[in-house]
């Protein structure tokens, strides 16, 4: 044992001493044999030669001896590792490309999984999330096809379907001005009904939560807000929380990690629905028809389908029983959905599908693009593996010819691959940590996306698989090298690899064109939306949202007139206007309701305004006049409403009826305007005067628009002062109009960025693939090209003929990709998501981009090869 250990030690760490001793031993052997032959009468020179022949070659004997040393395999491995590192250094560009691709695939895989895990797979962090469901009215007219329920409907539903559920609750979220002191900030708050906390298994960190019987004006704040705003002070329970105009006592703090039903959003406070509605200025009949999302927890043993059947059975009686007295029966029936839909609320995926369909589309498309990119990266890695295998073919043929085993021949290549995989994988995990952070930053909402053990393990697995595939592909190329054919430079020796690489390249080109095409589609789609004429001037427009202090009967006509006058007096303010509705592009919600005039009807949004609003917005008045302070039944409409209701005649002076059955006389027509989002292009809108429309009380929350060349930061203090001076409103949110434009195109921007980056990366990958393929083909045909050049072919002729050959693969790949683009779209559309529409024009642009990159990638090595001196090539051969 001790002898073996000593031998191991010497073999590994005193290698030079051991080698010297072996050398001495064999020299002594040669000297003894020589001396005997000299003694027998042979001259010294011949005697030495004979001795060496008799020994059979010193190096050969040494090799035989070394194999018997302890640690011989380890030493051989170390030798191969040194060789692999030398080879990697010698082909630094190829090695670096390989490592970079490996890192890219690992980073992509880690990021995709981290996002997938956080957004789609992770269950709501509540007890038994699988028994949580969402109950919605099916409303075919709405964009998502579904809507929430009103509070009275929930009460009736609980009474009639309570046997199948343990808890029923409603929840509704909004961004309001919140804070603990004088300084308010926009914060996400929720109004909830019923058994919200009990259903979600929430616990209070301090204080208490509330149940369905809570009638007081109270709020529960989040653990995050407790820490950030109150420094974790237990005395917070004696404090009040500002919620718009209200000051609400804090009764409890939820435990850390409680996210409610919203895995994507951080929230600050939860309060009973009535408190929430008061903060929003909703009361009376409006409160009775105010919708919330309805959630429920299934009783044990009850399935989603069983509950769906049960609630639909009782739905007609629920509708009838929950009708507010102020609403006519027919109107109430019209507003209700035909049936109820029950869906799971347990995972991020179900949350996205039901409550965030726009985000679901963006995320799904991102996944699809990232997956295609990962596939293309793997294809490029496989192509590079073939390239590395072919590069070592001649060396392997020499080793095989000298009697080396195939395993021995492949081993250095495998070690090289392992080094690339290890370095690329480690780099990929480091890059992945950053890209996951980037994804978390870029993803709308707070999804708690982060790299964890699972996503890191998946990255390692991807590296291992990519490495194994790379080892297999290149290993097969090397192990099956036809020795004689390689030495003869027989083209048949390389033919299978050429076919393999052509196949891989064609596949890569096909995948690439799909990605590049969608990159073009989404980028041009966004660019198109950014160019859409929205109907007013966005630049120089500022938006200020204000909340009123109670009682709101103080918000009179004189007050609003004074407010506007004061703001217009601010230096640099050219115009100011007020609306009781949202600013343009500040919400994507659909407020359209039926508007009629006689037999004609259309869906239009009703947005109340104060006099001077159109001037501030910069919306041209096409005919008639603006609303006046003393108007009672006058309204302004957009040109498309006028044209739809009164085709071929003037709408001025005509009467229209809004969904609340009120009649308005059209006194003015403004030009069409994109109010919800540039993608809508022209919203049909009716603008009644706010003071009349909101009777008996005016809006408590109003939005002021100012047009000024001054910067927003510069303007805010002056506006805040002007508003505060009158003492009935306070300013809680300010933004430039261009911020809203950007926000309204969030999904399009996300898709354009992701698809644009993916498209750019795939172009880079394809250029690497094409360059490698072309360089490889040129290496194979170096001799032939040199002969042709020697016979008089010009570099241009040679380059053209090479380009023509590569173009076959190019055309085939692009053709397959072009067909795939449309197939992918219909496949994905049927599976998950509606993608943007590819057109012949976008395909042409994509093909042109790809062709440009391809020609560049092919032209560089081709030109270099065509200009080589044939004499030097043939001499080296």
Partner 1 sequence: MTAAASRSRQLRGTLDLLVLKALSIEPLHGVGIFRRIRQITNDAIEVSYGSLFPALHRLEEGGWLDADWHVSPHNRQAKYYRLTRKGRRRLEQEEREWRRIVGAVTAALESS
**What end-to-end distance do the CA atoms of the chain give, in Å?**
54
26 binding partner 1? (CB under 8 A): yes
130 binding partner 1? (CB under 8 A): no
Q: Please give the backbone phi and psi of residue 119, each rounded to the nearest 5 degrees, phi first.
A: -95, -40
41 binding partner 1? (CB under 8 A): no
Nearer of residues 26 and 198 to partner 1, judged by Cβ: 26
Q: Which stretch binds partner 1 (CB under 8 A): 59-67, 203-211, 282-290, 684-692?
A: 59-67
CA angle 269, 270, 271 (to 5 degrees): 120
User: Shortest approach of partner 1 to residue 69 CB, angstroms?
Assistant: 6
Q: Which stretch binds partner 1 (CB under 8 A): 25-33, 202-210, 241-249, 605-613?
A: 25-33
Residue pointed to by tokens 């060789």: 83
Residue pointed to by tokens 């939005």: 703
Distance in angstroms (rounded) separating the CA atoms of residues 552 and 696: 10
User: Shortest approach of partner 1 to residue 404 CB, angstroms?
Assistant: 17
519 closest CA partner among 764, 793, 174, 274: 764
402 binding partner 1? (CB under 8 A): no
495, 506, 728 from 501: Cα distances, Å = 10, 8, 75
14 binding partner 1? (CB under 8 A): no
User: Shortest approach of partner 1 to residue 57 CB, angstroms?
Assistant: 8
Q: At what angle do helices 58-66 and 44-55 cross, to 10 degrees?
A: 30
Q: Which stretch binds partner 1 (CB under 8 A): 64-72, 105-113, 640-648, 766-774?
A: 64-72
Give the burial class of 731: count Cβ atoms within 10 A of its Cβ; 0-12 exposed, 13-18 middle, 19 or more buried: buried
| 290: three-class secondary structure by DSSP | coil
On the question of a cis peptide bond just before residue 551, with omega within 30 degrees of 0, the verdict is: yes
Distance in angstroms (rounded) separating the CA atoms of residues 349 and 360: 8
Among 41, 45, 56, 403, the residue binding partner 1 under the rule CB under 8 A is 56
Among 12, 42, 55, 602, the residue binding partner 1 under the rule CB under 8 A is 55
Q: Which stretch binds partner 1 (CB under 8 A): 52-60, 247-255, 333-341, 605-613?
A: 52-60
Q: Which stretch binds partner 1 (CB under 8 A): 23-31, 333-341, 361-369, 525-533?
A: 23-31
226 binding partner 1? (CB under 8 A): no
User: Shortest approach of partner 1 to residue 55 CB, angstroms?
Assistant: 5
Structure tokens at 393: 């073919």
Nearer of residues 60 and 633 to partner 1, judged by Cβ: 60
5 binding partner 1? (CB under 8 A): no
Among 70, 91, 160, 208, the residue binding partner 1 under the rule CB under 8 A is 70
User: Shortest approach of partner 1 to residue 73 CB, angstroms?
Assistant: 13
Decide: 393 and 491 in contact? Cβ < 8 Å.
no
574 binding partner 1? (CB under 8 A): no
Give the burial class of 618: count Cβ atoms within 10 A of its Cβ; 0-12 exposed, 13-18 middle, 19 or more buried: buried
| 57: three-class secondary structure by DSSP | coil
User: Shortest approach of partner 1 to residue 407 CB, angstroms?
Assistant: 15
Structure tokens at 547: 């909340």
721 binding partner 1? (CB under 8 A): no
Give the chain's radius of gyration (CA, Å).
38
Beta partners for residue 706, in sequence order:
542, 576
Q: Which ranges of 443-556 does DSSP label H, i.e. alpha helix?
A: 453-479, 483-488, 495-531
Total of residues contacting partner 1 (CB under 8 A): 26
Nearer of residues 65 and 138 to partner 1, judged by Cβ: 65
40 binding partner 1? (CB under 8 A): no
Residue pointed to by tokens 């490029």: 380
Decide: 112 and 360 in contact? Cβ < 8 Å.
no
Structure tokens at 270: 């939860």
User: Shortest approach of partner 1 to residue 18 CB, angstroms?
Assistant: 10
Q: Which stretch binds partner 1 (CB under 8 A): 53-61, 382-390, 465-473, 528-536?
A: 53-61
Number of neighbours of residue 315 by Cβ within 10 angstroms: 21
663 binding partner 1? (CB under 8 A): no
Nearer of residues 26 and 532 to partner 1, judged by Cβ: 26
Decide: 153 and 242 in contact? Cβ < 8 Å.
no
Decide: 641 and 686 in contact? Cβ < 8 Å.
yes
Among 5, 14, 23, 24, the residue binding partner 1 under the rule CB under 8 A is 24
Q: At what angle do helices 840-866 and 495-531 cross, to 10 degrees?
A: 140
64 binding partner 1? (CB under 8 A): yes
Beta partners for residue 579, in sequence order:
609, 703
65 binding partner 1? (CB under 8 A): yes
68 binding partner 1? (CB under 8 A): yes
Nearer of residues 33 and 715 to partner 1, judged by Cβ: 33
User: Shortest approach of partner 1 to residue 26 CB, angstroms?
Assistant: 7
| 282: three-class secondary structure by DSSP | coil
Number of neighbours of residue 39 by Cβ within 10 angstroms: 9
Structure tokens at 9: 């030690």
Q: Which stretch binds partner 1 (CB under 8 A): 22-30, 422-430, 576-584, 632-640?
A: 22-30
Nearer of residues 64 and 574 to partner 1, judged by Cβ: 64
Among 12, 61, 800, 859, the residue binding partner 1 under the rule CB under 8 A is 61
407 binding partner 1? (CB under 8 A): no
Structure tokens at 486: 């390689």
Distance in angstroms (rounded) separating the CA atoms of residues 453 and 460: 10
35 binding partner 1? (CB under 8 A): yes
143 binding partner 1? (CB under 8 A): no
Non-local (6+) Cβ contacts of 448 within 8 A are 118, 263, 440
Residue pointed to by tokens 């039926």: 594
Nearer of residues 38 and 764 to partner 1, judged by Cβ: 38
Nearer of residues 6 and 499 to partner 1, judged by Cβ: 6
User: Shortest approach of partner 1 to residue 54 CB, angstroms?
Assistant: 7
Distance in angstroms (rounded) separating the CA atoms of residues 706 and 575: 6
Nearer of residues 70 and 448 to partner 1, judged by Cβ: 70
Nearer of residues 65 and 485 to partner 1, judged by Cβ: 65
Q: Which stretch binds partner 1 (CB under 8 A): 28-36, 143-151, 375-383, 602-610?
A: 28-36
42 binding partner 1? (CB under 8 A): no
320 binding partner 1? (CB under 8 A): no
613 binding partner 1? (CB under 8 A): no
Structure tokens at 197: 């906390």
60 binding partner 1? (CB under 8 A): yes
User: Shortest approach of partner 1 to residue 812 CB, angstroms?
Assistant: 47
- In sequence order, what DSSP letters do the residues of 616-665 get, joined into one string? HHT--EEEE----TT-SSEEEEEHHHHHHHSTTS--TT-EEE-TTS-EEE
Q: Which stretch binds partner 1 (CB under 8 A): 30-38, 248-256, 293-301, 518-526?
A: 30-38
811 binding partner 1? (CB under 8 A): no
Distance in angstroms (rounded) separating the CA atoms of residues 748 and 530: 10
33 binding partner 1? (CB under 8 A): yes
On the question of a cis peptide bond just before residue 147, with omega within 30 degrees of 0, the verdict is: no
Among 5, 32, 454, 848, the residue binding partner 1 under the rule CB under 8 A is 32
Q: Which stretch binds partner 1 (CB under 8 A): 51-59, 231-239, 279-287, 310-318?
A: 51-59
User: Shortest approach of partner 1 to residue 2 CB, angstroms?
Assistant: 10
Structure tokens at 766: 């394809």
User: Shortest approach of partner 1 to residue 29 CB, angstroms?
Assistant: 5
**Diameter of the chain measured on Cα atoms:** 138
Distance in angstroms (rounded) separating the CA atoms of residues 309 and 342: 9
Which positions lie near partner 1, rule CB under 8 A?
3-4, 7, 21, 24-26, 28-29, 31-33, 35-36, 54-57, 60-61, 64-65, 67-70
């Amino acid at each position: 044992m001790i002898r073996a250990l000593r031998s191991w030690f010497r073999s590994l760490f005193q290698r030079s001493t051991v080698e010297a001793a072996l050398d001495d031993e064999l020299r002594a052997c040669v000297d003894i044999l020589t001396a005997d032959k000299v003694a027998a009468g042979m001259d010294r020179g011949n005697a030495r030669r004979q001795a060496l022949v008799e020994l059979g070659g010193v190096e050969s004997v040494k090799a035989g001896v070394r194999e018997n040393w302890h640690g011989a395999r380890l030493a051989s491995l170390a030798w191969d590792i040194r060789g692999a590192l030398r080879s990697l250094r010698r082909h630094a560009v190829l090695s670096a490309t390989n490592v970079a691709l490996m890192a890219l695939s690992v980073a992509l895989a880690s990021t995709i999984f981290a996002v997938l895990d956080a957004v789609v797979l992770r269950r709501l962090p509540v007890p038994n999330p699988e028994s949580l469901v969402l109950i919605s009215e099916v409303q075919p007219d709405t964009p998502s096809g579904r809507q929430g329920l009103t509070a009275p409907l929930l009460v009736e539903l609980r009474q009639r379907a309570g046997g199948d559920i343990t808890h029923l609750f409603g929840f509704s979220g909004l961004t309001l001005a919140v804070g603990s002191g004088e300084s308010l900030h926009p914060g996400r708050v929720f109004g909830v009904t019923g058994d919200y906390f009990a259903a979600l298994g929430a616990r209070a960190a301090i204080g208490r939560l509330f149940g369905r019987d809570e009638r007081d004006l109270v709020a529960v704040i989040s653990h995050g807000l407790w820490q950030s705003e109150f420094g974790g002070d237990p005395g917070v329970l004696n404090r009040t929380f500002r919620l718009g105009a209200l000051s609400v006592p804090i009764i409890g703090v939820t435990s850390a990690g409680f996210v409610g039903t919203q895995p994507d959003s951080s929230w600050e406070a939860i309060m009973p629905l009535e408190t929430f509605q008061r903060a929003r200025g909703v009361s009376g009949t409006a409160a009775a028809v105010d919708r919330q999302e309805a959630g429920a927890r299934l009783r044990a043993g009850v399935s989603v389908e069983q509950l769906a059947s049960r609630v639909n059975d009782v739905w007609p009686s629920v509708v009838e029983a929950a009708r507010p007295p102020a609403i006519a029966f027919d109107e109430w029936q019209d507003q209700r959905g035909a049936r109820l839909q029950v869906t799971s609320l347990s995972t991020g995926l179900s949350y996205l599908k039901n409550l965030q369909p726009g985000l679901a589309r963006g995320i799904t498309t991102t996944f699809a693009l990232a997956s295609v990119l990962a596939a293309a990266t793997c294809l490029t890695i496989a192509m590079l593996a073939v390239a590395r295998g072919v590069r070592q073919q001649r060396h392997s043929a020499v080793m095989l010819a000298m009697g080396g085993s195939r395993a021995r021949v492949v081993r250095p290549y495998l070690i090289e691959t392992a080094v690339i995989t290890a370095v690329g994988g480690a780099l990929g995990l480091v890059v992945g940590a950053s890209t996951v952070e980037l994804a978390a930053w870029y993803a709308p909402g707070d999804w708690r996306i982060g790299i964890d053990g699972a996503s890191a393990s998946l990255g390692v697995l991807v590296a291992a698989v990519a490495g194994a595939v790379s080892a297999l592909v290149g290993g097969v190329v090397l192990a099956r090298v036809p020795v004689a054919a390689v030495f003869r430079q027989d083209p048949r020796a390389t033919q299978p690899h050429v076919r393999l690489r052509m196949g891989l390249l064609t596949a890569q080109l096909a995948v690439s064109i799909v990605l590049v095409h969608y990159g073009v589609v989404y980028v041009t789609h966004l660019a198109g939306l950014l160019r859409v004429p929205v109907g007013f001037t966005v630049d120089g427009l500022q938006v200020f949202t204000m909340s009123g202090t109670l009682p709101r009967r103080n918000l009179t006509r004189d007050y609003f007139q004074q407010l506007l006058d004061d703001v217009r007096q601010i230096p640099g303010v050219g115009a100011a206007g007020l609306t009781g509705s949202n600013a343009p592009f500040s919400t994507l919600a659909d407020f359209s309701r039926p508007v009629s005039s006689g037999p004609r009807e259309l869906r239009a949004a009703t947005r109340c305004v104060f006099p001077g609003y159109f001037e501030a917005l910069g919306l041209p008045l096409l005919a008639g006049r603006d609303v006046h302070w003393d108007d009672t039944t006058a309204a302004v409409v957009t040109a498309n409403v006028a044209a739809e209701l009164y085709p071929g005649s003037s709408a001025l002076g005509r009467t229209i009826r809004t969904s609340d059955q009120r009649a308005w006389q059209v006194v003015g027509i403004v030009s069409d305007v994109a109010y919800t989002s540039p993608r809508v292009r022209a919203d049909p809108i009716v603008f009644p005067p706010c003071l009349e429309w909101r009777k008996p009380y005016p809006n408590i929350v109003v939005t002021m628009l100012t047009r000024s060349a001054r910067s927003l930061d510069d303007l805010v203090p002056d506006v805040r002062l002007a508003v505060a001076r009158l003492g009935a409103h306070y300013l809680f949110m300010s933004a430039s109009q261009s911020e809203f434009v950007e926000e309204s195109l969030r999904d399009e921007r996300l898709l354009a960025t992701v698809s644009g980056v993916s498209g750019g990366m795939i172009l880079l990958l394809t250029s690497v693939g094409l360059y490698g393929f072309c360089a490889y083909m040129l290496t194979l045909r170096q001799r032939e090209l040199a002969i042709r050049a020697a016979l008089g072919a010009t570099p241009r002729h040679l380059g053209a003929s090479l380009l023509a050959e590569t173009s076959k693969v190019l055309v085939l790949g692009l053709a397959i990709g072009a067909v795939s683009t449309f197939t992918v779209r219909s496949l994905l559309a049927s599976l998950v998501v509606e993608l943007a529409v590819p057109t012949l024009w976008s395909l042409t642009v994509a093909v042109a981009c790809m062709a440009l990159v391809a020609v560049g990638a092919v032209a560089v090595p081709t030109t270099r090869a065509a200009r080589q001196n044939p004499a030097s090539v043939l001499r080296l051969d």
